[in-house]
Amino acid sequence: MPGNMTRTSVERLAAAALALLALAGCASVPAGLLSVDRMEYSQVLSASWKRQTLLNVVRLRNADAPVFLEVTSIVNSYSVQSRGSAGANLFAHSDPDELSMGIDHTWSNSPTVTYQPLTGERFIASMLGPVPLPAVVQLLQSGWPVDLVMPAVVGAVNGVRSEGPGMVEDGRFRELVEVLSRLQRAGGLMFFVEGVKSMMRIAGGGDPRLAADARRARELLGLAQDASDFEVVYGLIPHNRKQVAIVNRSMLEILLRLGGGIELPETERGRVIPLLKPVAEPQTLGLARIRSGPKAPEDAYASVRYKGNWYWIDDADVPSKRIFTFVMILFSLAETMPNPGSPVLTVPAR
């Protein structure tokens, strides 16, 4: 080998090889990618959950069977492969030396999504059983407004019935909700847990208007006027005048009640489950206003297509979005049964 030229070429080749090894060794999944994927999956899951819920509301109003398909897991597998190569042609005379090097970097992302239909015991517990009373008390205890929770969830309280599928509302129910709402906003109505008991406290205080609302609330519920703390129990009729007996709706009833707020297209009139009476202002009754039309909306909180028509909740309709989001939270609260081992469908996402 020639002296200086060969030594210089070997040094170049060694430096190139070391550089390639360093590049290959540094290959890894970018940390920022994990954050991006997590947020994107979260948004897609939220959007699909809203669309599925809205679709089932429309199905039920059309006397169609609801189908609930849960996303039970998302497994995202990342892989990174890097490979480097280097070569040289060394010449003994004046021809210039030839050096070559290359690096091959491969990155792949293989998400797998698992779906599970809601059937059997889990369907009965989640959809047909009443929303657990402790969950409702805890919602009210944590500050959720009475005028949102009671019209949506409560079927009857101390015999005062709310409007629902197949049930005409007691004329006192709306007044009761208004009175309790004023008490709650003024700090005169509280819910709490005492030992194993769920409790409701009505306090009139020194404010004459607050005292009047407290007195009226007790009258509407048939409670003792000289008491402030009342036990909250599940049932239609209380055993004494210091109990508040509540019958909660099931999630299926709540979805049927939401369906009462659908503005039906002309082509579907006469083909859906009729209401006991028309609902002029769904928001005042705790329902969402669900619009319909032949074309997809441009700006919607959630939208679905069913039998050639589009149904949606307008993104500017805050009261409807509020109640719809609340119903979706109730789905999580109503899920109380363990997984019974229903069939599982696993689909690789592309």
Residues 213 and 137 in one domain: yes
**Domain carrying residue 42:** 3-120
The answer as to whether 289 is a domain residue is: no
Give the domain-ending residue among 101, 120, 139: 120
The answer as to whether 301 is a domain residue is: no
Residues 142 and 244 in one domain: yes
The answer as to whether 336 is a domain residue is: no
The answer as to whether 221 is a domain residue is: yes
Residues 82 and 179 in one domain: no
Strand duo 197-202 + 154-157: pairing: unpaired
Residues 107 and 170 in one domain: no
What DSSP designation does 279 have? -
The answer as to whether 38 is a domain residue is: yes
Render pLDDT for 182-200 as a digit per residue (tens, 0 to 9). 999 999 999 998 888 999 9
pLDDT, one tens digit for every residue, the chain (350 residues):
444 445 555 565 556 555 555 555 555 656 666 666 778 878 888 888 899 999 999 999 888 888 888 877 777 776 666 665 555 555 555 555 555 556 666 766 677 878 787 777 777 777 888 888 988 898 999 989 999 999 889 999 999 998 776 667 788 999 999 999 999 999 999 999 888 899 999 987 778 889 999 999 999 999 999 999 999 999 988 999 999 999 999 999 999 888 888 888 877 777 777 765 544 444 434 478 999 999 988 889 999 999 989 999 999 999 999 999 999 888 877 765 444 344 444 445 44
The answer as to whether 42 is a domain residue is: yes
Residues 134 and 116 in one domain: no
Residues 105 and 147 in one domain: no
10 Å Cβ neighbour count for 248?
21
Q: Which two tokens stand for residue 269?
A: 């009139």
Strand, helix or coil at 270? Answer: coil
Give the domain-ending residue among 223, 249, 275: 249
Residues 140 and 231 in one domain: yes
Residues 16 and 105 in one domain: yes
Q: Which two tokens stand for residue 238?
A: 């209380």
Strand duo 229-234 + 243-248: pairing: parallel
Give the domain-ending residue among 86, 120, 154: 120
The answer as to whether 35 is a domain residue is: yes
pTM of the model: 0.73
Residues 151 and 52 in one domain: no
Q: How far apart are CA 158 and CA 221, in angstroms?
A: 6
Residues 103 and 43 in one domain: yes
* Cα pseudo-dihedral 271, 275, 280, 283, rounded to 10: -100
- For the chain, the domain total comes to 2
Residues 66 and 135 in one domain: no
The answer as to whether 125 is a domain residue is: no
Render pLDDT for 41-99 as a digit per residue (tens, 0 to 9). 788 888 888 999 999 999 998 888 888 888 777 777 766 666 655 555 555 555 555 55
Q: How far apart are CA 106 and CA 281, in angstroms?
A: 58
Residues 108 and 85 in one domain: yes
